[in-house]
Chain A
Amino acid sequence: VQLVETGGGLVQPGGSLRLSCVASGFTLSDYWMHWVRQAPGQGLVWVSRINEDGIVSNYADSVKGRFTISRDNAKNTVYLQINSLRAGDTAMYYCVRDLRDYNYWGQGTLVTVSS
């Protein structure tokens, strides 16, 4: 099982990024997938989730309207589109399979918002 996140980097306030999470070693379409973020030196914060076929998605209030989660099971990839970036969005973003018994975490991709 492997989850590899890419797409992070340094971006100016107001900018956008699309994070990608490529899954391997399991059938992506069998699982809910989540994004969780962690600001430097801070705790874990749940961001969003998407169901197995991509029809259902939910968001934390703090990101609703700015973040969009999606998936392409044929490409074994989950995405997080992040718009109108703010300094408070600076964090490691983790792609996570399930938050219960089939849990698995990627190593994360770092997003830094700074001018």
Chain B
Amino acid sequence: QSALTQPASVSGSPGQSITISCTGTSSDIGTYNFVSWFQQHPGKAPKLLVYDVNYRPSGVSNRFSGSKSGNMASLTISGLQAEDEADYYCNSFTTANTHVFGGGTRLTVL
């Protein structure tokens, strides 16, 4: 049950778009479309942004979008805003009937 692989950090300027990758294996992302993305601000509980690869819960901005290709999932944030500065985590269901998170990506808005 190795953690999914995410870049440690990404950055972008306000208004730009950034993409965070999440690389798994054929035992998780490659088999299931049960990939979720979470945003966490310091000292706060995580918040769901995307589930089932590319579905947004009600209330989440359409600036957040998800996708998947093979063993890799991605989260794209368009029109970066200062409030987007946070940690982002991907999560997938696995063939062992468990879940696994990515190591997390720190987004800095320049």
Whether the pair A58, B97 counts as a contact (CB closer than 8 A) is yes
Q: A100-B34, A103-B48 in contact; A46/B55 too (CB < 8 A)? A: no
Query: How many whole Å from A19's CB to the nearest CB in chain B?
Result: 15
Contact of A59 among B93, B98, B102 (CB under 8 A): B98
Interface size class of B (residues with CB under 8 A): 20 to 34
Number of interface residues of A (CB under 8 A): 21
Closest B residue, CB atoms, query A46: B99
Chain B residues in 8 Å Cβ range of A59: 98
Closest A residue, CB atoms, query B55: A101
Q: Check if A43 is an interface residue, CB within 8 A of chain B.
A: yes
Contact of B36 among A45, A49, A62, A99 (CB under 8 A): A99
Contact of A45 among B34, B47, B101 (CB under 8 A): B101
Q: Check if A87 is an interface residue, CB within 8 A of chain B.
A: no
Whether the pair B91, A43 counts as a contact (CB closer than 8 A) is no
Closest A residue, CB atoms, query B104: A43
Query: How many whole Å from B88's CB to the nearest CB in chain A?
Result: 10
A and B contact pairs by CB, cutoff 8 A, 29 listed: A34-B99, A43-B3, A43-B87, A43-B101, A43-B102, A43-B103, A44-B40, A44-B46, A44-B89, A44-B104, A45-B3, A46-B98, A46-B99, A46-B100, A46-B101, A49-B99, A58-B96, A58-B98, A60-B98, A61-B1, A94-B45, A99-B36, A99-B91, A100-B34, A100-B36, A101-B55, A105-B45, A107-B45, A108-B45
> Which residues of A pack against B, CB within 8 Å?
34, 36, 43-46, 49, 58-62, 94, 99-101, 103, 105-108
